[in-house]
Amino acid sequence: MALMVVKFDLKKRVKLAQFLWLMYWFSVMAGVLVFSMGLFFKIELRKRSEMMDNNESHFVPNLLIAVGLLACGINALGGKICYDSLDPIKFSRWKPMLKPFLVSCVAFNCLLVLTALLCFLMRIPLQFTLAEGLKNALRFYKDTDTPGRCYMKRTLDQMQIEFRCCGNNNFRDWFEIQWVSNRYLDFSAKEVKDRIGSNVDGKYLMDAVPFSCCNPGSPRPCIQYQVTNNTAHYSYDHHTEDLNIWKRGCRDALISYYGGMMNTIGALVLLVAILEVIVMIGLQYVNTSQCNLANPEDPESESEGWILEKTVKETFTDIMDKMKAMSKGNAVEEGGVDGVATVS
Amino acid sequence: MVLMKMKFPFEKRVKLAQGLWLLSWMATLAGAFTFTLGCFLKTELRRRAEVMDNTEIHAVPNTLMIVGLASLGINYFAGRMCQDALDAGRFPRWKTFMQPYWGVSLLFTLLMLMAVIMSYAMKGNLESSLKIGLKNGIRFYKDTDTPGRCFQKQNIDRLQMEFRCCGNTDFKDWFEVQWISNRYLDFSSKEVKDRVKSNVDGRYLFDGVPFSCCNPSSPRPCIQDRLTNNSAHYSYEHQTEELNIYIRGCREALVNYYMGLMNTIGAGVLSVFLLQSSVLVSLRYLQTTMEALAGQENTEIETEGYLLEKGVKETIMEYVTPVLVFLQLNQVGSEDTEA
C-alpha cells in the first residue's frame, strides 16, 4: 500500500513540474540567503574577536556558509531535473540518478535541521568565551603602549558606548583592576602611594570607572570617580542611583546581541529546511508519476505518484533487512576466508 | 528659422520611438530613485532637528520628492506617447495634450536643476541654523527637569559621541555656559560660592567639559575637568594634548556630514536631470515628425523633425508678448481711470 497516492494526468504533471521549478528557484535564493547570513555572522564574530579568547570557534558560521553553497547547488540541479521532466528523452537521462539524488536530499535536510539546532546551542560556548575574553580585555585596558594591545582601550571604550554596558559582570569589575597606566600616575603624591601600599600586588585600585560607562540619559553630569562614596558628591546616593552609569555587564549585553542574531538565523534555517522538504516531496511525485505511466508508450497517459512505494513501516523494515543482509554477506565472506586460512 | 532640424525616414522614426520607450522607463526608475533620495535626506535632517534652528534647509529634500513624483508622471506619459507613435492613426489624439504637457515637464525639469543648485548653495543657511541650534542646545544642557528641554542633555551627549565633536565652534564653548544644574551644586561649599560670585550673572562656570567630549582613542584616561590647568594632572600639557577630547566643533562636523550627503545626492540628481532632458528632447523630435505625417496617405515617407518651429528669441517673444500686452493694457487702463 503506497504512501499518499495521487493520480496525475498530463496537465497535472505539467503544472506540478512548472510549480516545482519555480519553488526550486526560491530555494536557490533561500540558499543564497543562508550563505549570506553565515558570512554576516562570521564578520560580526570577527569584529569583536578581541573580546573573545583565542580559541573561539567559527564552526557554526563556516557550517552555515557551506550549507548555503550546498543548498544552491542541490536546488539548481533539482530545478534542472524538473525542467527536463516534461521531455521524456531528457528525463530518461536523469532517471538512474534520481533515487540517489533524493537520498542525498534527505541527508541534506537532516544537515539543515542539525545546523539550526547548533545555531540555537551556540550560546553556551559563547558565554564561556566572552567571560574569559572580557576579563583579559579589562586587564589590558591600560596597556596603550604595549604592541598588540594598544587598541584595547579604544575597542573596549567604543564597545561599552555602543552596547550600553560597563565591565564584565557589572561595573564593579573596574574596581578590581588597575585601569590607569603607571605612566600617568604621580608616584610622589601621597594618595597614589597610599593606594598602592594598600594591596598585595601594588596595584593602583580605586572605586572609579572609565568615561565610556557613563549613561547619557542621566539627568546629572556623569559621576565616574568615587562612585561608591556618597559624601564625595552633593545629593548622591549610589544605592538608588540608576541612571548615572550603565548597570548591565558587557558579557550579558554581548550574549543577548549574539543570541538574538543566532536565534533569528536558526529560525530562518528551519524555514529553509521546511521548504527543502516540500520541494523534495514534489520531486518524488514528479519522479514516480513519470516512471509509472499507465501506458509506457504514450507520454500523455495517466499515472500515479506516491511518496513511498510501501508504507513507512514496510520501507523501514526493508532498509533494515538490506543492511542486515549486507553485514551478513560480509560475515559469511570473512568466515570463508578464515576457514580457508585454518585449513591451510 | 527652425531650430535643429533633422530628417527622419521611416526606420529612424521607428527606432526613435523604441529607444524613447526604453529611455522613458529608465527615466521613470530614475524619478522613483530621486524620490527615495529626497525621503532619505529628509529623514536624516529630521533626526537632528533638535540642533537646527529653522527648517529652511528642508526645501532641498521637499523639492526632490516633488520632482521625483512629477517625473514618474511625465515619463509615464512619454512612454504611452511613443507607444502610440508607431501607429499614425492613434497619435493625433495626443495633440491637445502636448501644450500643457510641455509646460509642466519643462517646469519640473528646471525644478530638478534648481534642487541641485540649492543643495550646494544652502550651505550657509544650514551653518547659521546649526550655529543657533547648537548654542541653544548647549545652554539648555543642564535643564533636565524643564519640560520640553529634558532630553537636550541626552541629545547633545549622543550627538557629540556619534559625530566625534565637542561644543559648538570648539570645546571652549562649554567653559562659557553653566552645564551643571543648580540641583547638583552644593551652595554651602566655598568653591561653589567663589565661582558663582566670580561672574556677573551668578553662573557656575569652570574649565570642564561633559564626558561625551572624551575621545576613546586617547592613550590615557579622559581628563574632563581643569582642562587648561597643566599642574592639576600629572604629565599633562593642554596646548599639545590632542587626543584627550574631541577638538572639532559639532557645527563643523554636522555641516561636513550634511554637505557630503547633499553633494552625493546632487551628483545623482544631476545625472537624472540629464536623462530626463534627453527624454524630453527625443519626445519633441518624435512629436514634430509625427505631426508632419498628419493627413498624409503614405505613413512611411520621410519627414522632418525640429526642436523649435521658430528661433529661440522668436518663440520666447511669442509667449511673452501676450503677457506684456496684458500688462500694458492694465497700465493704460489705470492711467485712464486716474485722468
Q: Vertex B174, ends B138 and B260: CA angle to 5°? A: 65
Cβ <8 Å between B219 and A221 = no
For A176-188, how does the pLDDT look when each residue is reduced to its tens digit (9 = 90+)? Answer: 999 999 999 999 9
| CA–CA separation, B226 and B241 (whole Å) | 13
| CA distance, residue B127 to nearest chain A CA (Å) | 26
Nearest CA in chain B to A213: B211
Contact with chain B for residue A313, Cβ under 8 A? no
The pLDDT, as a whole number, for residue B93 is 82
**Positive or negative CA dihedral for B328, B331, B336, B339?**
negative
Residue B280 has pLDDT above 80, yes or no: yes
Higher pLDDT, A271 or A199: A271
Cβ <8 Å between B181 and A219 = yes
In sequence order, what are the residues at sequence separation of 6 or more whose Cβ sits closer than 8 angstroms to the Cβ of residue A305?
A5, A6, A7, A8, A284, A285, A286, A287, A288, A289, A292
Mean pLDDT, chain B, integer: 89
Instruction: Write the ipTM.
Output: 0.81
Contact criterion met (CB below 8 Å) for B51 and B138? no
pTM: 0.83
Contact criterion met (CB below 8 Å) for A283 and A82? yes
Confidence at A294, pLDDT banded by 50, 70, 90: low
Higher pLDDT, A193 or A1: A193
Closest CA to B47 of B134, B136, B125, B155: B155
Mutate one of A149, A179, A234 to test the B interface: name it (highest B CB count within 10 A): A234
Contact with chain A for residue B243, Cβ under 8 A? no
The pLDDT, as a whole number, for residue A222 is 93
- A-to-B residue pairs, Cβ atoms closer than 8 angstroms: 73
Residue type, B294: A
Closest CA to A250 of A207, A203, A209: A209
Count of CB atoms situated within 10 Å of the CB of B187: 10
SS3 category, B299: coil
Residue B203 has pLDDT above 90, yes or no: yes
| CA–CA separation, B178 and B196 (whole Å) | 10
| CA–CA separation, A126 and B257 (whole Å) | 37
Residue A338 has pLDDT above 60, yes or no: no
Residue A272 has pLDDT above 90, yes or no: yes
| CA–CA separation, A312 and A318 (whole Å) | 10
Contact criterion met (CB below 8 Å) for B177 and B201? no
| Enclosing H/E stretch for A6 | strand A6-8
| Enclosing H/E stretch for B304 | strand B303-305
| CA–CA separation, A287 and A102 (whole Å) | 10
Contact criterion met (CB below 8 Å) for B217 and B134? no
Q: Chain A residues with CB inside 8 Å of B185's CB?
A: 234
Q: A 196-215 residues with CB below 8 A of B?
A: 210-212, 214
Q: Vertex A165, ends A162 and A170: CA angle to 5°? A: 165
Q: Quote the strand ranges of A225-318, DSSP E.
A: 303-305
> Among A331-340, B111-120, B148-157, B177-186, which stretch is predicted with the lowest mean pLDDT?
A331-340
Cβ <8 Å between A161 and B211 = no
The pLDDT, as a whole number, for residue B7 is 85
Going from N- to C-terminal start, the domains of chain A cover 6-125+253-322, 171-247
| CA–CA separation, B194 and B113 (whole Å) | 59
Mean pLDDT, chain A, integer: 89
Going from N- to C-terminal start, the domains of chain B cover 3-138+259-325, 171-247
| Enclosing H/E stretch for B130 | helix B123-139
Phi, psi of B3, deg, nearest 5: -95, 120
Cα–Cα separations (whole angstroms), residue A153 to A158, A167, A252: 8, 13, 20
For B121-145, how does the pLDDT look when each residue is reduced to its tens digit (9 = 90+)? Answer: 999 999 999 999 999 999 999 999 9
Contact with chain A for residue B186, Cβ under 8 A? yes
| CA–CA separation, A277 and A283 (whole Å) | 10
Residue A333 has pLDDT above 70, yes or no: no
Residue B51 has pLDDT above 50, yes or no: yes
Residue A342 has pLDDT above 70, yes or no: no
B191: alpha, beta or left? (left if phi > 0; alpha if psi -120 to 50): alpha
Q: Chain A residues with CB inside 8 Å of B217's CB?
A: 154
Residue A320 has pLDDT above 80, yes or no: yes
| CA distance, residue B95 to nearest chain A CA (Å) | 46
In sequence order, what are the residues at sequence separation of 6 or more whose Cβ sits closer than 8 angstroms to the Cβ of residue A10?
A299, A300, A301
